Structure 1
Amino acid sequence: MRNLIWLASIGIAAPLAYAEEQQSNYEYGDRPDIAKVLSLDVPSDDCNVVEATMTYLDSNGETHTMRYLRQGADCHDN
């Protein structure tokens, strides 16, 4: 009986854990499935390379968070 309860709890918890936001790091050549960008977080550090974070929905409506490198938000071409 304990094994049955244990298996049932795993069956319930597994989809809940997967439903949480999925986080990854972008690597050159990746082709993420981005249907809609929800937010961008770009630290301001002049023209230095910073780690930005993008939260987006894929074509299945699942939320993902991806970190990637880019120039700081305060970099202006003068």
Structure 2
Amino acid sequence: MKTIQFASACLFASLAAFASFGAQAADTQPAEPYHYGQKLDVKQVIAIQEEAASPFDCGIVNARMDYLDSHGQPHSVAYRKFATNCNEGG
């Protein structure tokens, strides 16, 4: 029983390290600007970030999505979107 728990813990730790590495790799690469109709090969989204806005403002902000494609390669795309505050009734 202890062997199974140890193996599970090792697997979880290695997966967490891989996800952390992917996020760090995506942060170091410049984001490609998105254009309407662009085809994206997104297998897994790593992170979505947006510019910090006032908690009371609802408007358009710059955002970035870091993701892995179907071959496991990291990519980043920059785009504009309504601030998260707009979705929260702000």
Higher helix fraction: Structure 1 or Structure 2?
A: 2
Aligned residues: 59
TM-score, length of structure 2 as denominator length: 0.57
Higher strand fraction: Structure 1 or Structure 2?
A: 1
Structure 2: any 5+ residue segments left out of the alignment? 1-27
Computing the radius of gyration from Cα coordinates, the structure with the larger value is 1
User: Structure 1 residues 22 and 61, CA, compared in 2 at 3 Å: closer, same or farther?
Assistant: farther
Runs of 4+ in 1 over 4 A off after TM superposition: none
Structure 1: any 5+ residue segments left out of the alignment? 1-19
Percent of aligned pairs with the same residue? 31
TM-score, length of structure 1 as denominator length: 0.65
What residue number does 2:21 align with?
Answer: none
TM-align CA RMSD: 2.0
User: Structure 1 residues 31 and 67, CA, compared in 2 at 3 Å: closer, same or farther?
Assistant: same
